[in-house]
Amino acid sequence: RKEVEQDPGPFNVPEGATVAFNCTYSNSASQSFFWYRQDCRKEPKLLMSVYSSGNEDGRFTAQLNRASQYISLLIRDSKLSDSATYLCVVNMGNQGGKLIFGQGTELSVKP
């Protein structure tokens, strides 16, 4: 089992749609969780951290379920500019700052 697994892509959605990405992780000692966005041929950029209470940033909502070791990202009213690959990222628990990356889910928002 991969340490961090994401929905296989690609997701092709029309503008204005709501899209949800799912991610599971295997290390129960993990403490920190993130969603990164990566545009084609660019570096990954932090989209948002994920907290146990859930958190929202504009059209983006992240949820964490520690019991199920599950993370989600919801994008509402999707825009053309949301087209990118979304990476689920988890820290390696008792190994400090080391991060494990999911393989990414590609999103394509069409007019």
Partner 1 sequence: NAGVTQTPKFQVLKTGQSMTLQCAQDMNHNSMYWYRQDPGMGLRLIYYSASEGTTDKGEVPNGYNVSRLNKREFSLRLESAAPSQTSVYFCASPGTSGSFEQFFGPGTRLTVL
Give contact residues for partner 1 (rule: CB under 8 A).
4, 31-32, 34, 41-46, 49, 87, 91, 96-104
Q: Which residue has the tokens 């994401």?
A: 6
- Among residues 65 and 103, whose Cβ is nearest to partner 1? 103
Residues 6+ apart with CB under 8 A from 27: 3, 90, 92, 93, 100
Could you tell me the smallest distance in angstroms from the CB atom of residue 104 to partner 1?
Answer: 6
Could you tell me the smallest distance in angstroms from the CB atom of residue 18 to partner 1?
Answer: 25
Kind of pairing between the strands at 105-110 and 11-14: parallel
- Among residues 78 and 84, whose Cβ is nearest to partner 1? 84
**108 within 8 A of 11, measured Cβ to Cβ:** yes
- Among residues 17 and 93, whose Cβ is nearest to partner 1? 93
Q: Which amino acid is at 92?
A: M
Could you tell me the smallest distance in angstroms from the CB atom of residue 110 to partner 1?
Answer: 23
